[in-house]
Structure 1
Amino acid sequence: MAFSMLLHASKGDDVTLSCTFTSSNTPTSKMTVDWSYRPQTGGPPQTVTYVEGLFGFPYIKVRFTSRIQWKGSPARGDASISLVNATLNDNGTFTCSVRNPPDVHGSPTSHTVLTITPKVPSIRFSDVAVLLALILLPSAVITVFLIGRMICPRKKHSKSKAYRSPIEVTEG
């Protein structure tokens, strides 16, 4: 019976595609692990990676070269892989098939429907610093100035003193 899973990730994330299997026999050199990929847009399945034998070297399809890493441990019933730096073009269904004769015959073990979405822009420290410098700093200076004027008002000239003009009028 195949295990199905929906997996969501953001562009640029590393994604682990899980594949577990049960076998009554210890994995041997006859064991194979086959990962295939079917794009979300449809079309035939494409081989992603194929590992033959317990310590075999994986074949990795050019589309995923250097972005697929083996994460599995066949002795523990794990044939998982990791997709590094996921792109929007990776949306689709990844299928894992394990064959470990005589009891595991290569039927699909897991189906993972992967959905990659663009990253949501986040506020960076520099954005916050610019906001502080352009908005909060001038506001703080003006507030301190106004509070200072309220606490220490300017001295007013007293009107009780007689007004004297700089021009003096004399009689005669």
Structure 2
Amino acid sequence: MRRRGSRAVTVVLRLCSLVCLAPSLVSSITVNTPAELQASKGDAVTLPCTFTSTSRPTSKMTVDWLYRPQSGGPPQTFFHFSSQAFPPPDGQFMGRIRWQGSPARGDVSISLINATLNDNGTFTCAVRNPPDVHGSPTSHIVLTVTLKKPSTRFSDVAVLLAFILLPSAIVTLILIGGMLCPKKRYSQSEAYRSPIEVTEGEGDRIHPPEAKVKKASCCALYLMDSDDEYEYYNRKKTLPVDEYYAESKC
């Protein structure tokens, strides 16, 4: 009787151990997501989600994405996958969710198109792959959407260079050229000196080619008496050729 009782106790203990260990044998699914994501308004944001399971994904596997706004409230399912993707037919995310997953590779990610400030909140990825339904089947992402920082475009910089720096550079070059290459200026006394102003010792010097001697005009008249006329013609014959006198031919 004692032997039978001990055997019964042993069997009960084994059954209890199997019952206790049974959940651990099937609780092997694990879902992973980043804890936080940041995006700018208008961007396309990928919400990554991967899972590991001891069982191969089958047609019974399901994926649900839930959203809870930053202001609070219960999470609501906006995307479902079961053999195929079911995007949200209405609501805040209608037309802005794209399925990016590949369940055979353990990827059940989605992308959010044209992010807005109203999308700030917590996104939850939930995966069920029977018989692996225990463990950590969910994971959460906190999404923060901010305004884009103003950026200077290259075209704006080019316009500033063209209208501000280029004229300044031209003016600077002109001023430098004027300083390095001054114009030569000659006074009237250096450009022309009459033969009468030639002092002693300068008669034999050769005048520079740019020096010009003012010639008498054809209408210069000499009014003289008869005696003066006789003296004039006699002097004309004796004067050297390089003296500059002109007889009126008017």
Q: Specify the TM-score bucket, using the shorter chain as the normaliser.
A: 0.7 to 0.9
Higher deviation after alignment, 145-154 or 106-115: 106-115
Say how many residue pairs are matched: 162
Q: Which amino acid aligns with 1:40?
A: Q
- Identity among equivalent positions (%) equals 68
Higher deviation after alignment, 105-114 or 92-101: 105-114
Q: Which amino acid aligns with 2:103?
A: P
State the SS of the aligned residue for 2:150: coil
Q: Which amino acid aligns with 2:144?
A: T
Question: Aligned pair 1:150/2:196, yes or no?
Answer: no
State the SS of the aligned residue for 1:135: helix
Deviation track 1:7-49 (CA, whole Å, cap 9, x = no partner) reads 1111122111111111111111211100011111212212220
Higher share of residues assigned helix: 2
Query: Which one of the candidate residues 43, 55, 63 is aligned to 1:25?
Result: 55
Q: CA deviation at 1:105?
A: 4.4
Q: Which amino acid aligns with 2:146?
A: T
Task: Write the distance in 2 (CA, Å) between the matches of 1:67 and 1:105.
Answer: 31
Question: Aligned pair 1:60/2:56, yes or no?
Answer: no
Q: Answer whether contact 2:88 2:94 (CA < 8 A) is retained.
A: yes
Task: Write the distance in 2 (CA, Å) between the matches of 1:160 and 1:109.
Answer: 104
Which position in structure 1 is the counterpart of 2:196? none
Task: Write the distance in 2 (CA, Å) between the matches of 1:61 and 1:90.
Answer: 17
Q: TM-score, normalised by structure 1?
A: 0.83
Q: Which amino acid aligns with 2:88?
A: I
Q: Answer whether contact 2:40 2:146 (CA < 8 A) is retained.
A: yes
Question: Aligned pair 1:38/2:68, yes or no?
Answer: yes
List aligned pairs for 1:1-172, cutoff 5 A: 3=32, 4-52=34-82, 55-60=83-88, 62=90, 63-105=92-134, 108-158=137-187, 161=190
Residues 1:65 and 1:109: Cα distance change in structure 2 (over 3 Å): same
Residues 1:107 and 1:49: Cα distance change in structure 2 (over 3 Å): farther
Structure possessing the higher relative contact order (Cα contacts under 8 Å, 6 or more residues apart): 1
Structure 1 gaps of 5+ residues are: 164-172
Q: Which amino acid aligns with 1:92?
A: G
What's the C-alpha RMSD, in Å, of the aligned pairs? 2.4
Q: Answer whether contact 1:97 1:106 (CA < 8 A) is retained.
A: no
Task: Write the distance in 2 (CA, Å) between the matches of 1:12 and 1:22.
Answer: 32
Q: Which amino acid aligns with 2:84?
A: G
